[in-house]
């Protein structure tokens, strides 16, 4: 479902400035649309070279005032995915020895990848395929939805254009992932000056089969995501919320998560990340604040 949000976010290009009651139309302003797509892919690619702090709050139901559990992690790209190192509630290591051990483990993984990438061929190919699938899914959204202008709204010193998102009846899904598109609807907010998606909010309008039809996401499930300009010209996700109900095999499940992302910091590809981690391990105080963080 996170992939679904990403794909929908990529298709947030405005189609036409018309009243909400007006006719639904297909892609327009192709140059602007291509710019939105390119920006979304740029943000995706940045996650491979930027670390961040991630705070995930889990609730039993969306209406619970306080989370049942909170998990805070330092998320660092490893070249074949993401490594999550647990932090305390204050966003700092709660156990210095355990934290150092996690960093040492990451350094070993990066060392192998940098010095002998051939030994990690399977992991690299799997990660490359995952990224390719994401990119193709983003491109497929070009024709999957119709948009109609709703209103302009202010967020800080920026003006966002809000569009209603609906299924394009002419769209024919070609994969099990794109088959999800006809079963969702919602709204998107676009910063038209930068060509960046600022917010997306959607609902599941029909049950969605998952896991080779062994499970379902039920109609009425809800998701949203917000993005901000953390660094000049670089927009990244700042908040996401998922409220899903469904079943897996013969058991029901309920997922209610809110995630906050902050402290984006460039750490680079594996060779640069390895140097940065080794430098950090060489410092006497591992809980010393990281320099150069980008906070929202």
**pLDDT the model gives residue 159:** 93
C-alpha closest to that of 15 among 3, 1, 2, 25: 25
Residue 66: count of CB within 10 angstroms of its CB:
7
**pLDDT the model gives residue 289:** 53
Q: Could you report the per-residue pLDDT of 119-164, keeping only the tens digit for each?
A: 888 999 999 988 888 887 777 776 788 878 899 999 999 999 998 8
Scan for tokens 């984006």, then name that residue: 264
Q: Could you report the per-residue pLDDT of 39-93, keeping only the tens digit for each?
A: 888 888 999 999 999 999 999 888 898 999 999 999 999 999 999 999 998 999 9
Report helix, strand or coil for 14: coil
Determine contact, residues 238/260, Cβ cutoff 8 Å. Answer: yes
Determine contact, residues 33/41, Cβ cutoff 8 Å. Answer: no
Q: What whole-number distance in Å separates Cα of residue 109 and Cα of residue 102?
A: 11
pTM: 0.82
Give the angle 260-202-234 at the CA atoms, nearest 5°: 45
- Specify which residues 51 forms β-bridges with: 265
Dihedrals phi, psi of 174, to nearest 5 degrees = -120, -10
CA 261, 264, 268, 270 dihedral sign is negative
276's enclosing H/E stretch is: helix 270-282
Determine contact, residues 224/203, Cβ cutoff 8 Å. Answer: no
Q: Could you report the per-residue pLDDT of 170-202, keeping only the tens digit for each?
A: 888 888 778 888 898 999 899 989 989 999 999
Scan for tokens 């907010």, then name that residue: 189
**pLDDT the model gives residue 213:** 60
Q: What whole-number distance in Å separates Cα of residue 25 and Cα of residue 259?
A: 34
Length of the chain: 296
The tokens for 91 are 């966003």
- Specify which residues 234 forms β-bridges with: 231
C-alpha closest to that of 189 among 8, 1, 21, 3: 8
Residue 158: count of CB within 10 angstroms of its CB:
16
């Amino acid at each position: 479902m996170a992939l679904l949000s990403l794909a929908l976010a990529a298709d947030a290009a405005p189609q036409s400035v018309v009243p909400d009651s007006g006719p639904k139309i297909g892609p327009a302003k192709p140059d602007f649309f291509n710019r939105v797509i390119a920006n979304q892919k740029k943000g995706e690619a940045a996650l491979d070279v930027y670390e961040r702090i991630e705070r995930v709050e889990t609730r039993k139901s969306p209406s619970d005032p306080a989370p049942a559990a909170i998990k805070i992690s330092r998320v660092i790209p490893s070249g074949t995915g993401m490594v999550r190192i647990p932090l305390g509630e204050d966003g700092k290591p709660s156990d210095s020895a355990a934290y150092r051990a996690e960093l040492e483990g990451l350094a070993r993984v990066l060392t192998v990848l940098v010095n002998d990438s051939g030994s990690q061929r399977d992991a690299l190919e799997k990660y490359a395929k995952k990224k390719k699938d994401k990119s193709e899914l983003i491109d497929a959204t070009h024709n999957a939805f119709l948009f109609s202008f709703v209103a302009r709204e202010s967020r800080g010193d920026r003006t966002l254009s809000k569009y209603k998102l609906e299924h394009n009846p002419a769209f024919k899904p070609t994969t099990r992932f794109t088959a999800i598109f006809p079963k969702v609807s919602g709204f998107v907010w676009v910063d038209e000056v930068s060509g960046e998606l600022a917010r997306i909010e959607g609902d599941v309008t029909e049950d969605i089969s998952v896991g080779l039809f062994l499970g379902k996401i039920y109609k009425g499930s809800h998701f949203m995501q917000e993005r901000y300009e953390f660094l000049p010209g670089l927009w990244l996700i700042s908040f996401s919320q998922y409220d899903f109900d469904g079943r897996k095999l013969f058991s029901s499940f309920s997922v209610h998560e809110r995630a906050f992302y902050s402290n984006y910091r460039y750490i680079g590809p594996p060779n640069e990340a390895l140097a940065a981690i080794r430098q950090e391990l060489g410092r006497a105080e591992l809980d010393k604040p990281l320099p150069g963080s980008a906070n929202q």
